[in-house]
Structure 1
Amino acid sequence: MINFFRAVFITSIVSAVVSQNCFAGSSQQFHLDIPTINQEVEIDGDFNEPVWQQAAQVMLKYETSPGENIAAPVNTYAKVFASKSSLYFAFIAHDPSPENIRVNLRDRDKSWGDDMVGIKLDTFNNARLAYQFFINAYGVQSDSIENELTGQESDAWDGIWYSKGKLTEQGYQVEIQLPLRLFNFDDSHPLQTWGLELIRFYPRNETHRLSTHQIDRNVACQLCQLGTVSGLAGATQGKDLQITPSFVADQSEQRELAQTGPWQDNTNVEAGVDLRWGITPTTLLNATINPDFSQVEADAGQLDVNNTFALFFPEKRAFFLDNKDYFDTQLDLLHTRNIGSPDYGVKLTSKTDDHTFAMLAANDIQSQFLVPGNLSSDIAVINEQSHNVATRYRFDPSKQFSVGGLVTLKQADDYHNYLASVDVKYQPTKQDTFTAQYAHSQTQYPDDFFNQFCGRDDCNYTFDDCEIGDCAINERVLRTDKDGEFDDAMYNIAYQHERRNWYVSTNYESIGSDFRADLGFIDKVDLTKYVFGGGYIWYPDNHFFSRIELGGDWDITHSQNDERLEQETEMFIEFEGGLQSYIATGMIQRERVGRRHNPSIIDIDGNTTLFEETLGWLYTNFTPVGSLKLELDMYLGDDIDFANNRPATVHMYNPGIEWKITESLVLDFSHRYQTLDVDDGRLFTANLSDVRLNWQLTLNSFIRLSSVYTRIERDPNLYLYQNPDKRYQDLGNELLYGYKLNPQSVFYVGYSDAFVANDDIDSLTQQEKTYFMKMSYAWLL
């Protein structure tokens, strides 16, 4: 198999370099010539200035979803022109029933589901990355980056741009200014040619997606199907210098888990500064000194129960998110939440012709990273300052082929992790995609590092009678008890063929037992995994459901010693249709191993039990009325009781609701209920409630109340090796007022607290409380 993929890889490189096909934005899709008019306009939602009479005009003629390139059900016109420093767009969205327009005052990136118009721009027209800007009828902004390499869209990126919307008797209209300083582009060309699509979302019984041009469902690549726009004569970014000073103050109080425990006060006042400098139109420098990396909005609640692997939390910090996509590869080798609290950071990103370069460097007051395994993983912390570096280079010799490399470094006094990776992506046709990636790491842990995982002072594990319950050893101890440096590699090879009505894919991955990606999120090592899957898609006409997909896959996983860890078969069916509904349900049948009988040895065969499981799952969301969205996620069937290494039965129900009480007041509520039963009774019942109430006072200001409550009830008599608390509760609350002039010019003031209860504390007892304030202002020079 490896020789076959090697031959395919070599052939792919040769074909890509000599290929003359063009899979990027094409004028055959759609083309617009933009006039350059040296005149600015006021962004007020009206088009009264004479300059708009000289703008280019285009109509969004087609519905691309759920209808397949049919005539748009409503009329939408767009106007566009450029000045030396900005792109200007105006949308006129007609509606035969304006009273049915769905529009709400929301915070940035929170208006999905509303009527909105949008712009997609590929400033290098190479089908790699695209900027996306969407605006609802009140002018609420949403922006994101679409990355063709990973197939992901990230709304974490926030640019500074301007928009205004207003309702009219005929529908609504929106006016937009996109400063050229937002974009990376090559200003050496006298005229620019960018990829472009103009979009309108028209949500009624279904969400109709309208476009300037047709979208071929028989083509796997989305950015390859943009139209083109030409113009911007003499366009430059200008000085493109942004300096953002910030000031943060908080007062926190904490105490031990005892109702009479004294409070310990801590006051913190800090100032910092961020620099964003467009050195050239294609090169961006970000730097930060004493940054405030506190999160204003709490992470979504997650249940960490009967789970052997570390939880994933997304990055939300602006410094790391700007041009984050330049670092992306098919594997998650850079997850910047592993850099917890730096004193400084610097990032340089650049794109010139076919070359993309990115570099990130930051310190951290500690060294935090994942310790992975094939049956479990955990977060490790070394209380030493670390230095963190990541460098990425990517070469795109043709529209079909790209090759890149990534190097990461994480280093402290007695610890280091170095990683080097190379990746390729090749699309020989519009339906076929090959990807491959290889990475090698070298790591060294401190001599006594493994002690933090054994749960006792003495981690001696040479005795023969070590069992699940009476042994201080676990997989993390075995993975971290290393002498000197150790190294290993991983690789991933994938192929996917996608057509309008069917698709197939296959993937093979191998991760060495000593491979580590401490600046990434690779939570499993010491395994090989093969996956094969496919599916068929129907697009019914004149039916409640406009799209039906039937698919499935089969996978098998072994350790590096060829010991089977898991074999799984899954079938599923998906429906999309009326009431803006999405329904997916499926069945999983698998065999997988539980915990090791003797945790002091790494073996799988003869040291684990193979469990058979059958599990059914369902996920659905729909909008019965415009102000109410309902959601349900559930699964039930066989599971493993990992604490006691025996078969179990799981029930999980996770309903959710988004209720737009008024145009400015929104309630988001979700509740997760999970039980695990064994032969002798119910092992535990877990509940997690996440409530968020947002009152958007104006486009720029809001008040938000959030509360996350967890309650876990266990039967200690059913635990064979442990004696857990019968009851555990925690409650976290936050009240926040925010004012955003733009994503970087903000003022926040708020209060948060935390309550805990367990067998020793009868009722929820306050353990922490914090008052905080943050303000920053982006000076655009």
Structure 2
Amino acid sequence: MSRLKRLVALASLSCLPFLSAHAGHSDNFHLDIPTLDRGATIDGEFDEPQWANATEVELKYETSPGENIAAPVTTKVKVYATNESLFFAFTAYDPEPEKIRANLRDRDSSWGDDQIGIKLDTFNNAKLAYQFFVNPLGAQGDSIENELTGNESDAWDGIWYSLGKVTDKGYQVEVELPLRLFNFPKVDAQTWGIELIRFYPRNETHRLSTHKISRDNSCQLCQLGTATGLVGLEPSQDIQLTPSLVANRESSRGLNPQTPWDDENNVEAGLDIRWGISPTTLLNATINPDFSQVEADSGQLNVNNNFALFFDEKRAFFLDNKDYFDTQMNLLHTRNIGSPDYGLKLTTQQSEHTFGLLAANDEQTQFLVPGNLSSDIATIDEPSYNIASRYRYDANSELSVGAMITMKKSDDYHNYVASTDVKYQPTEHDTITAQFAHSKTQYPEDLFQQFCRGDDCSAPAPDCDFTNCNYNERVLRTKKDGEISDNVYRIKYVHDRRNWWGQVYYISTGEDFRADLGFIENVDYSKLVAGGGYRWYPSDSFFSSVQLSGDWDVTHNQAGEQIEQETEMSLRFEGGYQSYIAGGIVHKNRVGLRLDPSKLAIEGNTDDFDVTLSWLYGYFTPIDPLKLELDINYGDEIDYANNQLGTKTMFNPEVEWKITESIALDVSHRYQTLDVEQGRLFTANLSDLRLNWQLSLNSFIRLSSIYTHIERDPSLYQYRNPDKVYQDLGNELLYGYKLNPQSVFYLGYSDAFVANDDIDSLTQNDKTYFMKVSYAWLL
């Protein structure tokens, strides 16, 4: 799934109810949950006698695309609790059950199916909410929604239980949510924010809810209803031990010249410990963990790009209560901790106080070197120690104030960051966020040599220009004497109503600011953004939502020299065939390369380029098993290799085909060219194929293959001589059995091939056989 598509999908799932500027309220919806003695067997049948004593509610409203109209189908839900778990029984009636969309899928992969959902804010303070989704066959999805950042992450995986079945009247789903999943206050009787949901995808995806939703409000979690009851909940201390064993055999060889295979066998045992000290306090620890990437990252095309690529975190230890560390800026990106021997994390919430502490070592030191025209990754071959601490005070549902400290340190290197942030929602339409951070950094004396375009960067080459200079921006950003320090300031104001919104945003980042435990790739700049838009909700039309938006922004370096000025307009539609269509045009004046790379100056040291680019993105489902997606860019682009203007053509189709109930094929291809005045500079192709056979809800076989092919015309490169052809191919075949997200067995094979001007055909240079087994003991 592409990053843009996932963001669109998650945004559509986040259309939450809002009737006041406060946390969940009984005026929206109220549910009293009885506490019974016996739990239910999760088998998709509701035949236990305790269901007769459960509270029953109905999902009466369609909130999207219809605006709080009567639900087109009937959905009834029974709810009760024991001292250990919450139980839900959904009966989803359907007048045409043959049209129900239900597929066997891995966790978080059943979007587009019929689904039921549960949303719980256990502190009822409109800050975080747990979300659980289940399709008619019991395939699970879960996520955490963070109101402070406006983000929703499906990376979190809890251990809970569900099973569904299709009937002649629709389908039914039975769910058990163990209380050990949740952080919640220790009080005699709980009051939680709640919403029960059903997604009913036909020509459009109808979102059904227990209560009405006001679109005339910017807060999302403030509109939940309330669930009371759960009297005297005191779950036993939640202890989870997850030992793991990982074995692999990796073989690699050089290809130019070709060398014999070098084989390396490795067997590692590890242990993860998860201790719920109390309902509000969680301790995670890991010893010799397996932090290998079991599943391949999505392919990304790194061509004509001056900035480092971003990859999401997928590792369980870092994901548990990850949201406790989030701020408006990405000051903690844990993929910067690559190979730890141990890690410790403590998270707690006491009344209006939230605290998190993370500590881990790393076998090496890796971080991002940022700039205002480029960024890159630096590596120091020595161990590092990494610490992050976050505190947040929620004065009420409108005001939150927080602080964060991070530290990354090795023998002759350190980076310390201290930050404070605030979010204030004075009305249901207005949101103000602000953040300040200060950093202190010291680099090793010779770190800059990593980025040298030559043998030595102790001094710039004579008559330095970008045709022959040994210097570049990364050299200048790391060639520092002693400790450096600097600040970043950020403030944003948003006014959001049902039909229109406006925003103003300003950020200023000092040239020596660094956040090496996070992902801050731009420094030495200030940026001002102003924009807004208007929304329509047509009735009796193919399109149910239309949005026109635009913004203007300008960026300078800290010396006041302009880097970029940009204006953008866009138009978006949502409608029939579960369609989403968006298009726009961007015009900007942007600087190119530095003419003298040994200087950071912009004015008199760069050329200005007027760039106009149009874009189109959309997807739709013409028939149930098939989803088609297309992303197109066409227009001007700066050729950063030659410091000139070219014409970019990018065409990126994607097909999701549910071949059978259990077999799914996802294929995408990105075709990109850059034409300059003298001809075609390059043609790049990236193909990404994922074939998944879900043998059961617990087991699957997955084939992944990512192929890159780049052809360049070396005669059009004025300042370097690249390969005419570059190819690489990575394959992975994986069998997985998941009893739950932490109790898993993986067996797989991966390999890599490469070709270039010196290697005339794709030749294998890496192959790995691997196995992982882990089991979560719940004590």
Which residue of structure 2 lines up, in the alignment, with residue 273 of structure 1?
271
Corresponding residue for residue 500 of structure 2? 502
Which residue number in structure 2 is paired with residue 250 of structure 1? 248
State the alpha-carbon separation in 1 of the partners of residues 458 and 634 from structure 2: 40
Q: Distance in 1 between matches of 2:533 and 2:102?
A: 36
After superposition, where does 1:302-321 map in structure 2 within 5 Å?
302-321=300-319
Amino acid at match of 1:29: N
Q: Report the AA paired with residue 465 of structure 2.
A: E
Question: Cα offset for 1:366?
Answer: 0.6
Instruction: Give the deviation of 1:257 after TM superposition.
Output: 1.6
Is 1:237 matched with 2:235? yes
Structure 1 segment 307-706 matched on structure 2, within 5 A: 307-706=305-704
Residue of structure 1 equivalent to 2:165: 166
**How many correspondences in the alignment?**
760
Note the C-alpha offset of 1:457.
2.3
Partner of 1:292: 290
For 2:578 and 2:21, the matched residues in 1 are separated by 36
Distance 2:393 2:258 in 1: 63
State the SS of the aligned residue for 1:762.
coil
Q: What's the TM-score, normalizing by structure 1?
A: 0.97
Match of 2:722 among 718, 721, 724: 724
**Which residue is equivalent to 1:27?**
26
SS at match of 2:200: strand
CA contact (8 A) 1:259 1:765 kept: no
Aligned residues of 2:573 and 2:581 also touching (Cα < 8 A): yes
**Structure 2: how far apart are the matches of 1:502 and 1:456?**
54
Give SS of 2:298's match: coil
1:8 maps to what in 2?
Answer: none
Deviations 1:506-541 (A, max 9, x none): 100000000000000000000000000000000000
CA distance in structure 2 between the partners assigned to 1:38 and 1:400 by the alignment: 38
Cα-to-partner distance string for 1:268-325 (whole Å, 9 max, x where unaligned): 0000000000011100000000000001100000011000000000000000000000
Structure 2 letter corresponding to 1:663: E
Contact kept, 8 Å, 1:118 with 1:135, in 2: the verdict is: yes
Indicate if the aligned counterparts of 2:460 and 2:471 stay in contact, CA closer than 8 A. Answer: no
Tell whether 2:93 aligns with 1:94. yes
**SS at structure 1 position matched to 2:318:** helix
Q: What runs of 5+ residues in structure 1 fail to find an aligned partner? A: 1-20
Moved more, 256-265 or 331-340: 256-265
What residue is the counterpart of 1:9 in the other structure? none
- Tell me the SS of whatever aligns to 1:493: strand
What CA distance in whole angstroms lies between the structure 1 residues aligned with 2:554 and 2:583? 22
Match for residue 50 of structure 1? 49
Partner of 1:769: 767
Q: Secondary structure at the match of 2:539?
A: coil
**Mapping of 1:1-20 within 5 angstroms?**
none
Show the counterpart of 2:126: 127
Deviation at 1:455, TM superposition (A): 3.2
SS at match of 2:751: strand
Structure 1 position 237, deviation (Å): 2.5
Task: Output the CA distance in 2 between the equivalents of 1:777 and 1:328.
Answer: 29
Aligned to 2:182: 183
Amino acid at match of 2:153: S
Per-residue deviation at 1:148? Answer: 0.2
| Paired residue type of 2:234 | T
Name the aligned partner's letter for residue 719 of structure 2: Y
Answer yes or no: is the 8 Å Cα contact 2:417–2:439 preserved in 1: yes
Letter matched to residue 495 of structure 1: Y
Distance in 2 of aligned mates of 1:367 and 1:632: 39
Is the 1:461–1:600 contact (alpha carbons within 8 Å) kept by the matching residues of 2?
no
Partners of 2:724 and 2:577 lie apart in 1 by 43
- Spell out, residue by residue over 1:469-526, the C-alpha distance to the aligned partner (whole angstroms, 9 max, x if none): 2111100000000000010000100000000000000100000000000000000000
Using the TM superposition, give the Cα deviation of residue 234 of structure 1 relative to its aligned residue in structure 2, in angstroms: 1.3
Flag as ranges the 4+ runs of structure 1 deviating above 4 A.
none
2-side partners of 1:714 and 1:471: how far apart?
A: 23
* Corresponding residue to 1:208 among 203, 206, 209: 206
* Cα shift at 1:86: 0.4
Give the letter for the 1:378 counterpart.
D
Q: Partners of 1:614 and 1:626 in 2: how far apart?
A: 38
Q: CA deviation at 1:461?
A: 3.4
The Cα offsets for residues 388-407 of structure 1, whole Å up to 9 and x where unpaired, read as 00000000011100000000
Alpha carbons 1:366, 1:386 under 8 Å: kept: yes
SS in 1 for 2:535: strand
Tell me, what secondary structure is at the counterpart of 2:675?
A: strand
Q: Distance in 2 between matches of 1:26 and 1:419?
A: 38
Residue matched to 1:228: 226
Deviation at 1:235, TM superposition (A): 1.2
Tell me how far apart the structure 2 counterparts of residues 271 and 32 of structure 1 sit (CA, whole Å).
46
Q: Is this contact kept in 1: 2:681–2:716, CA < 8 A? A: yes
Question: What value does the CA root-mean-square deviation take over the aligned residues?
Answer: 0.7
1:503/1:419 CA distance change after superposition, 3 Å: same
Deviations 1:415-440 (A, max 9, x none): 00000000000000000000000000
Displacement, 1:236? 2.1
The answer to whether the 8 A contact 2:437-2:487 is kept is: yes
Aligned residue number for residue 12 of structure 1: none
Greater CA deviation, 252-261 or 162-171?
252-261
Does the 8 Å contact 1:731/1:754 carry over to 2? yes
The answer to whether structure 1 residue 156 and structure 2 residue 151 are counterparts is no
Aligned-pair CA distance for 1:546 = 0.2
In structure 2, C-alpha distance between the alignment counterparts of 1:237 and 1:264, rounded to whole Å: 52
Matched, 1:738 2:743: no
What do residues 211-264 of structure 1 show as CA deviations (whole Å, max 9, x unaligned)?
000010001111000000001111123121000000000001000024742000
**Native 8 Å contact 2:461 2:469 kept in 1:** no
- Find the aligned partners of 2:158 and 2:461 in 1 and give their Cα distance: 59
Partner Cα distance (1:414, 1:457) in 2? 23
Between the aligned partners of 1:202 and 1:64, the Cα distance in structure 2 is: 12
Q: Residue 21 of structure 2 contacts residue 219 of structure 2 at CA under 8 Å; is this kept in 1? A: no
State the AA in 2 paired with 1:595. L
Secondary structure of the 2:761 match is: strand
Deviations 1:726-753 (A, max 9, x none): 0000000000000000000000000000
Within 2, Cα distance between the matches of 1:763 and 1:231?
67
Residue aligning to 2:17: none
Give the AA of the match of 2:467: G
What is the SS of the residue equivalent to 1:476? helix
1:85 matched to 2:68? The reply is no
d(CA) in 2 for partners of 1:617 and 1:397?
Answer: 43
Identity over aligned pairs, percent: 69
How far is the alpha carbon of 1:161 from its aligned partner?
0.3
Deviations 1:555-576 (A, max 9, x none): 0000000000000000000000
Q: What is the distance in 2 between the residues matched to 1:625 and 1:236? A: 49
- Show the counterpart of 2:8: none
1:463 positional shift: 4.3
| Shift of residue 462, structure 1, vs aligned partner | 3.8
Tell me the alpha carbon deviations over residues 356-411 of structure 1, each in whole angstroms, 9 at most, x when there is no partner: 00000000011100000000000000001000000000000111000000000000
1:83-105 deviation per Cα after TM superposition (whole angstroms, max 9, x unaligned): 01100000000000000000000
Deviations 1:699-748 (A, max 9, x none): 00000000000000000000000000000000000000000000000000
* Cα offset, 1:62, TM superposition: 0.2
* Residues 369, 380 of structure 1: 8 Å contact kept: yes
